[in-house]
Structure 1
């Protein structure tokens, strides 16, 4: 499970590194995956919620 999440994160970063800009949706997805991996490593798991202000276009 850890490896799958890590590989997904690396793939997203590599895919997006070819672009000058990425969408907020893509950035949120990368950040969500990163935090999920960090949570797996943590002795004291945490919860998180990523919120985007209403009216912001994320795609």
Structure 2
């Protein structure tokens, strides 16, 4: 068992993203979920962007 797994309550990996941007002011984030054609993507994006900036799906983070 790897060291990091012992530190997690359920022994699963933790997905964390840190874009080094503020969560307010001129960087206004919002959550979004996109579902189409068998794809389910969930994440966050900035106002004005056409896609998700930080996201994950069932297979990728």
State if a TM-score over 0.5 links the two structures. no
The higher radius of gyration belongs to 2
Higher strand share: 2
Higher helix share: 1
TM value normalised by structure 1: 0.24
Structure with the greater relative contact order (CA < 8 A, sep ≥ 6): 1 or 2? 1
